[in-house]
Structure 1
Amino acid sequence: MPFFQAAPLARTLVTGANGFTGRYLVEKLRAGGHTVIETTDVHDEPETSTRLYLDITSHDACRRVIDRVRPDYIVHLAAISFVGHDEPLDFYRVNVMGTRNLLEACVQVGHTPSKLLIASSANVYGNVASDAIDETFPLRPVNHYAASKAAMEKMVHAWFDRLPILIVRPFNYTGRGQSSNFLVPKIVEHFTGREPSIQLGNIDVARDFSDVRYVASVYEALLDSDAAAETVNVCSGTPYTVRDIVSSASELTGHELEIHANAEFVRQTDVKMLAGSPAKLHSLVPSVESIPFVDTLRWMLVS
């Protein structure tokens, strides 16, 4: 009987693995057969063969990790992602220069992965009068977070001829474990705590919300796709206002929450409508189905 040797498992490096998205993606990739090497910026435990410390702002640290791991795939999630972060320069140090350090490290140590997936953000589109933003829309960022992601994208384009890069622009997404600094977890927290009222900003801003489990599935599928040297939206195509979310949560829980407008929560740079076109995404990974937002909300409310 001939001897067949099983193909080695794909070694996949995930930066920012200890973040909200990273935790779900790592679980998804491991379930799919990947050997995942996580990087974190937290010195909470000793390094292991599958968990490494990485300060993405350090060029030398990036070279050390890439040279040590030499992964088949890289998913770059490490970023300052909270729009209200109080130190503007951090957005550029981490989101722009940190990404550059990672790409430069690959080239300098002579390692080319099969795919390098880099997470940007749909915030790069800014205020757009459309409920179906596709990848051809111009970038018009209106805050430091979005500006840093737009600058990162422009920088990354210069590496398209050297590395197989795919940029993803996720629209808003949420799920269990997301910080209550973010809108939907804050609303969920008030409903699960049976609070009498909540302070919110503009409840008529609309966002295209997805489920973090769907986003993780999309990222996994995109790693296996042929797409490279391009950008793709990750979205559901369906916008929801803050008012819609509160109303849905009320219906699911039977609890009424009185809304108090707080001017401090209204940013002049807030994008009024942000909803994407998933057409390109569906053409690249047609088998990945989105999760209805009401199901996401129900899942979060029973956590």
Structure 2
Amino acid sequence: MRLASPSDIAVPAGRGCVLLTGARGFTGIYVREELERAGYTVVGAIVGAAAGPHEVTLDITAPDNCRRVMEKVRPDYLVHLAAISFVQHADAEAFYRVNVIGTLNLLQAIADAGLSPRCVLVASSANIYGNARADQITEAQPPQPVNHYAVSKLAMEHMVRTWSDRMPIVLTRPFNYTGVGQEPHFLIPKIVSHFVQRAPVIELGNLDVERDFSDVRMVANAYRRLIEEAPAGEVFNICSGRGHTLGGVLDMMSAIAGYTIDVRVNPAFTRANEVKRLVGSAEKLQRAVGQVATYPLESTLDWMYNA
């Protein structure tokens, strides 16, 4: 395991060192940029690759590895993004091994290293809400998870709360978000890529869905603001508060690309337990940190199309 040297992780006065798990993932890249622009030193935790400057190799399912990393880096903050996040991931057991036990290993490693972090931010998911009927889902909405990903995230939340008396932990529940660099098996990148290629046809699954789509840059900004405010013991929706139907997204892309694509339903892509509507309330987040950076969905789609 290659650990960053002390000179690699020199901490600027007044800010501090952030250990960022999932640093090379879609979200992690933007969170790292956001934090570094604000003056933090970010040590990125990565899996299965040679670590570069300001990076460490970390397997969160290995308790000893977690402990060694915490002892070497000794971060002031932990932003924990690493997870299996693709709902249709084939290995159900992996959701729990990574999302629940992996998070437990990190928290235990912080305690074992004798650290007193200023804030530990742990990313959960709005998928825990399931098919909630509220027009805008608040953090008080009772969870109704309908798949292993959502159940694993809810289990993780309950486990994390058992540590709330020992360290300042903030939980986030991001709703759907997208941007340049998201993997093409996710819905919005799949749609955008078809328009970029000027494909005549796109095959999709459930068409009667509505989602609260945000821009990944807004999510990164919200995470930075939350570790600065450190509202310990609280959970926050990360969302725009606006719902978009799949048809509406396709119409926006048609306007951007200048043509209409033929949409066909492929039964292989449909899910019987699909969450039909998932739109959140951002009021609690705004009360805690103020107005975060916002991007209209049309702007995000145009950014992705022209990237």
Q: What is the TM-score with the length of structure 2 in the denominator?
A: 0.94
Matched, 1:287 2:288: no
- Who is 1:145 aligned against? 149
The alignment of Structure 1 onto Structure 2 pairs a total of residues equal to 296
User: Do residues 120 (structure 1) and 124 (structure 2) align?
Assistant: yes
Say which of 23, 32, 35 aligns to 1:26.
32
What is the match of residue 265 of structure 1? Answer: 269
User: Secondary structure in 2 aligned to 1:167?
Assistant: strand
| Cross-structure match for 1:223 | 227
Q: CA RMSD in A?
A: 1.1
**Matched letter for residue 119 of structure 2:** K
Q: Counterpart of 2:20?
A: 14
Query: Does the CA contact (< 8 Å) of 1:200 and 1:262 recur in 2?
Result: yes
SS in 1 for 2:42: strand
* Residue 208 (structure 1) aligns with: 212
What's 2:41 paired with? 35
Any conservation in 1 of the 2:252–2:298 contact (CA below 8 Å)?
Answer: yes
Question: 1:256 is matched with which residue: 223, 242, 260?
Answer: 260
The one-letter amino acid of 2:234's match is E
Q: What percentage of residue pairs aligned between the two structures are identical? A: 49
CA shift in 2, pair 1:10/1:197, >3 Å = same
Gaps of 5+ in 2: 1-11
* SS of 2:122 mapped into structure 1: strand
Separation (CA, whole Å) in 1 of partners of 2:304 and 2:59: 31
Structure 2 letter corresponding to 1:251 = A
Equivalent residue runs for 1:72-87 within 5 Å: 72-87=76-91
TM-score of the pair, normalised by structure 1:
0.96
Amino acid at match of 1:57: T
Check whether the contact 1:131–1:239 (CA below 8 A) recurs between aligned residues: no
Quote the residue 2:109 is aligned against: 105
> How far does residue 50 in structure 1 lie from its aligned partner after superposition?
1.2
- SS of equivalent to 1:276: coil
Q: What secondary structure does 2:202 align onto? A: strand
Amino acid across the alignment from 1:59: P
Distance 1:71 1:131 in 2: 40
3-state DSSP class of the match of 2:190? Answer: helix
Aligned to 2:65: 61
- Gaps of at least 5 residues in structure 1 are 1-5
Code of the residue aligned with 2:34 in structure 1: it is: K
CA drift of 1:48 comes to: 4.7
